[in-house]
């Protein structure tokens, strides 16, 4: 006697997919699919356009770090615009795998995806590591109080190159305490419920 399979017992159901569009550079207008997991919200087109206008002359040739990468929208945009390399750090194995697949489809050779939560990965970095990042994107999950410890670890682990720039995106209601003394606020804007800021390292301590 055959038994009908209950669809609810299927453990291989594909997750729902969302997509994000690359808005500039070599991959302009390419659409990237990623798992529509809870809390994953790519930086909107309008915000990315503003950010990369701020970063003109910085992105090309830069060594970039995309923390809490999610869909990878920020790092992919940087690669499309000529970044020398991007390291993506993403906690979700499912999302990290999708990001690797997308990088493979785009034939991106100068990137790596690390499946780890951002705090743990930063804590594991040696302070005397040779590589320094010119540009860091930080868009952590909202309302988890991650911005400040992430910024502190970037500074403590000495991962930032001279004159590096750090992009921070967070919920608008979050009141950020003072950043590390060498971080100077370069630009700041708000869009809906989101605040986004770009910091530049200075030589003043």
* pLDDT tens figures, 101-115: 999 999 998 999 999
Whether 2 is in a domain gets the answer: no
Whether 192 is in a domain gets the answer: yes
Whether 23 is in a domain gets the answer: yes
Q: How confident is the model at residue 3 (pLDDT cuts 50, 70, 90)?
A: very low
- Give me the pLDDT at residue 4, please: 42
* pLDDT tens figures, 73-108: 999 999 999 999 999 999 999 999 999 999 999 999
The domain total for the chain is: 1
The CATH number covering residue 60 comes to: 3.40.50.150
Domain that holds residue 40: 12-201
Q: How confident is the model at residue 10 (pLDDT cuts 50, 70, 90)?
A: very low
Whether 34 is in a domain gets the answer: yes
Whether 3 is in a domain gets the answer: no
Tell me the pairing of strands 31-35 and 194-201.
unpaired
Whether 1 is in a domain gets the answer: no
* pLDDT tens figures, 114-143: 999 999 999 998 877 767 999 999 999 888
Whether 17 is in a domain gets the answer: yes
pTM: 0.88
Closest-CA residue to 26 (of 83, 85, 67): 83
* pLDDT tens figures, 130-181: 679 999 999 998 888 899 999 999 998 999 999 999 999 988 887 877 788 8
3-state SS assignment for residue 148:
helix
Whether 48 is in a domain gets the answer: yes
């Amino acid at each position: 006697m055959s038994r009908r399979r209950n669809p609810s017992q299927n453990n291989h159901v594909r997750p729902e997919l969302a997509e994000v569009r690359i808005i500039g550079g070599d991959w302009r207008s390419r659409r990237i699919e990623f798992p529509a997991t809870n809390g994953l919200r790519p930086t909107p087109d309008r915000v990315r356009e503003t950010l990369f206008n701020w970063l003109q002359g910085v992105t090309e040739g830069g060594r970039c770090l995309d923390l809490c990468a999610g869909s990878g929208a920020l790092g992919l945009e940087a690669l499309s615009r000529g970044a020398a390399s991007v390291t993506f750090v993403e906690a979700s194995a499912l999302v990290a795998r999708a990001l690797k697949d997308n990088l493979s489809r785009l034939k991106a050779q100068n990137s790596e995806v690390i499946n780890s939560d951002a705090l743990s990965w930063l804590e594991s970095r040696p302070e005397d590591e040779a590589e320094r990042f010119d540009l860091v994107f930080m868009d952590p999950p909202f309302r988890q109080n991650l911005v400040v410890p992430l910024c502190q670890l970037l500074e403590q682990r000495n991962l930032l190159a001279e004159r590096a720039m750090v992009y921070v995106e967070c919920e608008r209601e979050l009141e950020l305490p003072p950043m590390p003394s060498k971080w100077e606020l370069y630009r700041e804007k708000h869009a809906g419920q989101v605040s986004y800021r770009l910091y530049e390292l200075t030589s003043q301590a």
